[in-house]
Amino acid sequence: MGLLERLRKDWFIAGIVLVIATARLEPAVGVKGGPLKPEITITYIAVSAIFFNSGLSLKTELADRRLHATSCVFCSNFNQSCWWK
């Protein structure tokens, strides 16, 4: 397997290594108040993107209606009991 094929297959790991190496060489880019503004981008944008991406990967069909109904009732009751405290 050639280097180019390997990079195509493991592009995510190669990207992580590249980002870590870049951060090691130029750490001032990611400091608080720096050009990337991590206090905003990590807190809001990155977390929102992770949850959005996770939501897109969920199956749309409802496999077990009883399980879904039970979890909805439990969450609803749990939220109502938290409001009383």
pLDDT at 81: 56
Residue pointed to by tokens 């977390």: 47
pTM value is: 0.48
Tokens (6 digits) for 59: 């199956």
d(Cα 13, Cα 19) in Å, to the nearest integer?
10
| Amino acid (one-letter) located at 1 | M
Residue 72: what pLDDT? 75
| Euclidean distance between CA atoms 80 and 78, whole angstroms | 5
Query: pLDDT by residue (tens digit) across 37-72?
Result: 888 888 888 888 888 887 777 676 666 777 777 877
3-state DSSP assignment of residue 26: coil
- Residue 5's Cβ-side half-sphere holds a number of Cα atoms within 13 Å equal to 2
